[in-house]
Chains A and B, each alone.
Chain A
């Protein structure tokens, strides 16, 4: 474990807490893409299949459970909770996210570290996570002004993988046999997808104005 990875995990956890706060405090999921939340639930379920078989550390197991439970709870909230469900705008959240699932799984069948069930699902989860934010970014562009908590949620979610890139550089420089190409390349693509959001987020922070993504 290094400071970059710990900061990355804490930023990821913070993004989830901010989203939970938004949904709980406002009893609304306006501006939140249900499809991105569903994709993240699939990402965690596919990535942590070894939750009960490979024990790495208490921290690792605890965080995996938190990520799986929170992503499922958020999807449940948006799909089932009567107050929150009413605020879901399905006419704006129209990204065909099942195509992202299919493409990621297909890619994982060809590009993986080992042709085993766990490794293919792990690669699938890495590729899917890289594109999981797309429905949310499309929704933000369509829904005009973005409320603060939703903007902060997306910012922290994008920042966490950026910190992981620093972690991979650090590990590459300090650990002789560290190679994690699938996660590294995918992580760079994932962070790059946030580039324009980060730009407009910075502008809104600098001008102390409302975050607005151009349509």
Chain B
């Protein structure tokens, strides 16, 4: 999948 650009970390 695409680079996980969503920032799932704090």
Contact = CB atoms under 8 A, between A and B. Distances in A.
Interface of A: 5, 9, 12, 47, 50, 54, 56, 60, 63-64, 67, 113-114, 119, 122, 164, 167, 177-180, 183
A60 B8 contact: yes
**Most chain A CB atoms below 10 A, which of B4, B5, B9:** B9
Nearest to A119: B5
Contacts of B1: 177
B2 to A, nearest CB: 8
Contacts of A113: 3, 5
B5 A183 contact: no
Majority secondary structure of chain A interface residues (helix, strand, loop or mixed): helix
B3 A5 contact: no
Contacts of A178: 4
B3 A9 contact: no
Contacts of B3: 113, 177, 179
Interface residues of B, number: 9
Contact of B4 (A5, A122, A177): A177
B6 A54 contact: yes
A65 B9 CA distance: 14
A12 B8 CA distance: 16
Contacts of A177: 1, 3-4
Nearest to B8: A56
A178 B2 CA distance: 10
Contact of B10 (A9, A119, A179, A180): A9
A211 B7 CA distance: 37
A5 B5 contact: no
Contacts of A60: 8, 10
A50 B8 CA distance: 11
Nearest to B7: A122
Nearest to A67: B10
Contacts of B4: 177-178
A18 to B, nearest CB: 18
B9 A164 contact: yes
B9 A183 contact: yes
A13 to B, nearest CB: 10
Nearest to B3: A177
